[in-house]
Amino acid sequence: MHTVVVGTSGVTASDVLAVARDGARIELSGEAVAALAAAREIVDALAAKPEPVYGVSTGFGALATRHISPELRAQLQRNIVRSHAAGLGPRVEREVVRALMFLRLKTVCSGHTGVRPEVAQTMADVLNAGITPVVHEYGSLGCSGDLAPLSHCALTLMGEGDAEGRDGVVRSAGELLAEHGIAPVELREKEGLALLNGTDGMLGMLIMALADLDTLYKSADVTAALSMEALLGTDKVLAPELHAIRPHPGQGAAAANMLAVLKGSGLTGHHQDDAPRVQDAYSVRCAPQVAGAGRDTMAHARLVAERELASAVDNPVVLPDGRVESNGNFHGAPVAYVLDFLAIAAADLASIAERRTDRLLDKNRSHGLPPFLADDAGVDSGLMIAQYTQAALVSELKRLAVPASADSIPSSAMQEDHVSMGWSAARKLRTAVDNLARVLAVELYAATRAIELREGLVPAPASQAAIDAVRAAGVQGPGPDRFLAPDLAAADAFVRAGRLVEAVETVTGPLR
């Protein structure tokens, strides 16, 4: 099994994906253990002094003015975890919780939090045992960290609350720890606070969304190319010299992908005389511009994620010169903004895909295709309601594009008076990504059927590879009406798993 070694300088996006989705094992580097021990010495020294230090010998948030005596500090750390584990709503997905815990461990190992090495090792042991704390949908404002989600994770480290075992069964966390020989942690000064105070949930969901969107944007280039073929459009608009004079990198990549898919097509570029068109519709002609803008948005989001992966987000932090200082680095604004940007881009990509699908089904705009791609229009309805479903998904995507980060509700008696709502931005982006895959699946279903209805015309080799692969996956081609939901579900699974891109790349080579 792949092993991820956590040091003091952060981790990579691929490390996060390996732990969250593939169950990779975690080890702490010797450098990380030494840094943890050194920072802990500083915290212990401060704890022994009579002067109050936030997070070490005081209360938290609006209660930070109270100095806590030494005999109550262990109770203080337990209490912050118990009281902050106040989430409600549905359970959060296992991969999100694993990413959340792993990214908190990454920051702990930076040596800036003052957490003891044994606490960090327990975090790694819990992840390696496949124990997943029960975390709920609601409870984070994306400021002062993803507080409730991280608190539910810290509760598991203490042997309290509920968690899911490797078998998927929810049980007592204490029982699961005992089963794997893991001793519950006894939190000391600052440790409870350090386990709660980070942007780890929203960052983990950003990293996973970027991985999924990378596949979906390539898939969207393929479905756009297939629709262009089915509509007998012209691929001249994809010429590199046209995109070179508006040099957005994403636009050039999308156009190059579409051109690669269409190479050798017998449907594009020379059928204009049969149904005269000066230009193709925007949804066909401007596909690279829309997909490209989304790609460039992803590039910015990756930059933010990389910076966040290299960060130590906690409050207060232990600095190399021995100071323990309060700060505002836990504010989720940088991550929240790009999560919202990506939801907007996903909605627009879905919207343009739906417009191409509708064009394929409309006999007045499809340039010779049967109404709704039906076998016997009137007797058969064809894909009429598949487009309804697609339109419903696009409408939902537009609602999900409303930015969460534009909102703020003050909390903690106005001490935390401006928050990022980054967790909410991440949660709605996950739904947006799922719905985008479904929208592209419907376009794929319609475009492949439409190409097959163009009798006597030969599609591009890459297009044919896509058609062959989707048919082999159980998605049926043209014919009389049938129960459509299973076909659409199979197309969705095909797109989501990256198999559409894989099929095309057997002909084109790697897409950009």
User: What pLDDT, in 10s, does the model give residues 405-451?
Assistant: 999 999 988 888 899 999 999 999 999 999 999 999 999 999 999 99
Q: Please say if the pLDDT value at position 17 is more than 70.
A: yes
Q: What pLDDT, on a 0 to 100 scale, did the predictor assign at position 275?
A: 61
What's the rounded mean pLDDT across residues 186-196?
A: 93
> Which active-site residues does the annotation give?
54
How far, in Å, CA of 84 to CA of 103, rounded? Answer: 19
What's the rounded mean pLDDT across residues 356-363?
A: 98
The tally of CA atoms less than 13 A away on the side-chain side of residue 484 is 19
Q: Please say if the pLDDT value at position 13 is more than 70.
A: yes
User: What pLDDT, in 10s, does the model give residues 263-286?
Assistant: 999 999 755 555 667 789 999 999
Give the chain's count of helices (H) and strands (E). Answer: 19, 9
The SS3 call for residue 94 is helix
Q: What is the DSSP letter of 146?
A: S
Q: How confident is the model at residue 387 (pLDDT cuts 50, 70, 90)?
A: very high
- The proportion of the chain whose per-residue pLDDT surpasses 90, expressed as a percent, equals 87
Mean pLDDT score across all residues of the chain:
95
Q: What pLDDT, on a 0 to 100 scale, did the predictor assign at position 47?
A: 85
Q: How confident is the model at residue 37 (pLDDT cuts 50, 70, 90)?
A: very high
Provide CB contacts within 8 A for 78, sequence distance 6+: 158, 187, 192
Q: What pLDDT, on a 0 to 100 scale, did the predictor assign at position 271?
A: 57
User: What pLDDT, in 10s, does the model give residues 458-484?
Assistant: 999 999 999 999 999 999 999 999 999
The CA angle 462-468-471, to the nearest 5 degrees, is 140
Spatial CA neighbour of 452 closest among 483, 473, 479: 479
Q: What pLDDT, on a 0 to 100 scale, did the predictor assign at position 213?
A: 98
- The proportion of the chain whose per-residue pLDDT surpasses 70, expressed as a percent, equals 98
User: What pLDDT, in 10s, does the model give residues 218-249?
Assistant: 999 999 999 999 999 999 999 999 999 999 99
Q: What pLDDT, on a 0 to 100 scale, did the predictor assign at position 337?
A: 98
Spatial CA neighbour of 318 closest among 151, 74, 123, 115: 115
Q: How confident is the model at residue 54 (pLDDT cuts 50, 70, 90)?
A: confident
Q: Please say if the pLDDT value at position 70 is more than 90.
A: no
**In this structure, which amino acid lies at residue 42?**
I
Q: How confident is the model at residue 262 (pLDDT cuts 50, 70, 90)?
A: very high
Distance of CA 82 to the CA centre of its chain: 29
Cα Rg for the chain, rounded, in angstroms? 26
Q: Please say if the pLDDT value at position 209 is more than 60.
A: yes
